[in-house]
Amino acid sequence: VILLDWLMVEAGTPALVQEILAQNPQLRVVALLPENFRQYRQRVWDAGACNSIPKEHMEQEWFSSIMCVMHRAMERERRLIAQYEANAMTA
């Protein structure tokens, strides 16, 4: 999981998300965006980020919950891929 702060490349964030995922599609990108930049939220999601978080609402408990949900989703995805590959080998 990569936490990508908007301030690193600002309006270039969607392009950077695409570049990161082109290099390694297995990564999960969470973009930290300023709350008043809502117009970029959809662009960041369209670029492949799995989540975007308004920096102003970032608190430890909330962030921990989001990371837990993401971890569980990644585990489920890993199990489904393994099951799919096992089924493909027996077919």
Q: DSSP strand E in 6-90: where?
A: 29-33, 51-54
15-64 pLDDT, tens digit each: 999 999 999 998 889 888 888 888 888 899 999 998 787 777 677 677 77
Q: How many domains does the chain have?
A: 2
Residue-level pLDDT at 89: 87
Residues 22 and 36 in one domain: yes
Q: Which two tokens mark 26?
A: 């297995």
Residues 73 and 91 in one domain: yes
Residue-level pLDDT at 10: 92
Residue-level pLDDT at 59: 72
Residues 82 and 48 in one domain: no
Closest CA to 18 of 34, 33, 7, 2: 2
CB atoms within 10 A of CB 13: 25
How far is 75 from 68, CA to CA, in rounded Å? Answer: 11
1-20 pLDDT, tens digit each: 888 888 899 999 999 999 99
Residues 52 and 90 in one domain: no
